[in-house]
Chain A
Amino acid sequence: MEVVPAAVKKAYLSRKFKRRNRSILGDFTLTFFLGLFGLFSVWPLIFIINNAFKPLNEIFIFPPKLFVQNPTLTNFQDLLIIIGNSWIPMSRYLFNTVFLTAVGTAGTVIIGSMAAFPLAKYVFPGSKTMSKLIVYSLMFNGTVTALPNYVIMSKLHMIDSYWAVILPSIGSTLGLFLMLNFMVQVPDALIEAAKIDGASEFTIFWRVMMPLSKAAWITLIILSFQNFWGTTGGGFIFSEKLKPISYALMQIVNAGVARTGVASAVTLIMLVVPVAVFIFSQSNVLQTMATTGIKE
């Protein structure tokens, strides 16, 4: 969608406006500040990566060292052996997780966005009540609703199926609330224009709202992916062949102190996928949004 005039876009890209209103001293201080705090936050990531390659004696060394001295792949080899002996093949656990993550994330994003659009852009009977319910339901703690939730799911015969994990997550309102707050910013003029062209609400949703709130749903994909990828299906999935991979890997890790090395390899492996998804989608947000702004 061509929202910004081509000339402005070109000028922006040619860095003509890049240095507007900036002082060198300010730039320096801010970069320094960023770097300092960055070191503080990235620490667990460095720790996890290093730990995965440490031989057992280095993991237990006191005082603990952050960086690995003699990197080794033993932890990963041990993990492979354990996986090879698994009763249910690891590929099955992996499939479960991939299925949960794919269907759950797609469901959360699409169903949440569909509902966010009318609530963000129109006033109709019930819309205000619904918006309020959505915000306030974020504030009720999940600990005590777990019990009624379980009863409902068993009444619907959903216990011990993928749906017991997927549907409650879709029904949580975080995603919708995020989408709603971005869709509010889409200019009404664009919707009016689409209507004059004869577009239905569904077309407007898919062709106008979704492309213009890309930054929001990419963020939602990251959050939802992280949520489903790490799920163990605890409390809802009991059949071994339906359990997700993080459950299987946790069983391996929990087998005792001797598995500490394997555990650090597992931590790294479970982290690689969300991090990859994160980097991929973040760079995507930035690329696409760099040239199109939304304006009234």
Chain B
Amino acid sequence: MQTSRKPIARTRGETSIANVWKKHKEKYLLLLPFSVIFVVFTVIPVMTSIVISFTSFNMLELPKFVGFGNYINLIVNDDIFLIAVKNTLFFALITGPVSYIMCFVFSWLINELTPKVRAVMTLVFYAPSISGNAYLIWKLIFSSDMYGYANAWLLRLGFISEPILWFDKKEYVFPILILVQLWLSLGVSFLAFIAGLQNVDRTLYEAGQIDGIRNRWQELWFITLPSMKPQLLFGAVMQITSSLSVSQISIELAGFPSVEYAGHTILTHLHDYGFIRYEMGYASAIATVLFFIMVFTNIIVQKALRRVGV
């Protein structure tokens, strides 16, 4: 995010607050409305949650301070949490990069089409994201009886002799969730890439042609990708957060709790403690751990992305 920012005014040597205010008054005024809302509705609630994570709090009695108790319990005593972490990381390791590349490749391919076809194709690919909880049709596909589409086809083609109970078998749950997540993945980043591609300076391509760029792959690596760095960084943050916070599709499709915790993720664990057991202190500790996992992943990914396109 910071790489391509070239500050116009280097501000050095301001001594007093009055000076700073005088120099940057208009900038602060532009920031003000957002900052107020942001602090009240995002920063304070997040800080409060972090404080709550050091307490035992059942939403009826006042919170009791327990220090790092929740965190120690999570890591040392909670075996299911460790399963959740393992699942989440494994899940994100596959869906994160694949969905990120999918978002880019599809937006890039669509960008080659004529404007009208392009608008239609954008809608086609964005359809799973715009149609609310459309992922529920995967329930129909992987229905356990012989009428579910997947079973019906496999039976007809003779691969299986009796219907498979998709969400009752540990080995199927995870791959199905990955498939559905990938199908859902052309969302915010995809739209940002589409818009970013529109912003690339066309004359660069002509200049590139003169400079000896011979095919679309060279064009992609030497012109398109470097021109889209800010969008690529944006997309990375979005894919990191979404691939690490899978819960709804797991709960809806695989059920809760899923068979042998095969679909259990950090967020379904949080859901369990937050909404079912009302242990808000513990739930907040889970949220905080997830937060640090995301921040850490983000730092690594941003470092890697800086190298893209030379």
Contacts and interface: CB of A to CB of B under 8 A. Distances in A.
Nearest to A290: B115
Contact of A41 (B6, B147, B183, B241): B183
A191 B27 CA distance: 14
A295 B201 CA distance: 6
Contacts of B59: 147
A119 interface: yes
Contacts, number: 301
A222 to B, nearest CB: 7
B183 to A, nearest CB: 7
A143 B196 contact: no
Given A121-B8, A174-B188, A182 B199 contact: yes
B89 interface: no
Given A112-B34, A181-B1, A285-B198, A219 B45 contact: no
Interface of B is mostly: helix
Nearest to B127: A45
A78 B280 CA distance: 44
Nearest to A38: B124
Interface of B: 1-2, 4-11, 14, 20, 23-24, 26-28, 30-31, 33-35, 37-38, 40-46, 48-49, 52, 59, 106, 109-110, 112, 115-116, 118-119, 121-128, 130-132, 134-135, 137, 140, 147, 149, 152, 183, 186, 188, 191-192, 194-196, 198-206, 209, 213-216, 218-219, 230-231, 233-234, 237, 240-241, 245, 267, 270-271, 274-275, 280, 283-284, 286-287, 290-291, 294-295, 298
Interface of A: 4, 8, 12, 17, 20-23, 26-27, 30, 33-34, 37-38, 40-45, 47-48, 62-64, 111-112, 114-115, 117-125, 127, 130-131, 133-141, 143-145, 147-149, 152, 156, 167-168, 170-174, 176-178, 180-182, 184-185, 188, 191-192, 200-202, 205, 215-216, 218-219, 222-223, 226, 230, 267, 270-271, 274-275, 278-279, 282-283, 285-287, 289-290, 293-295
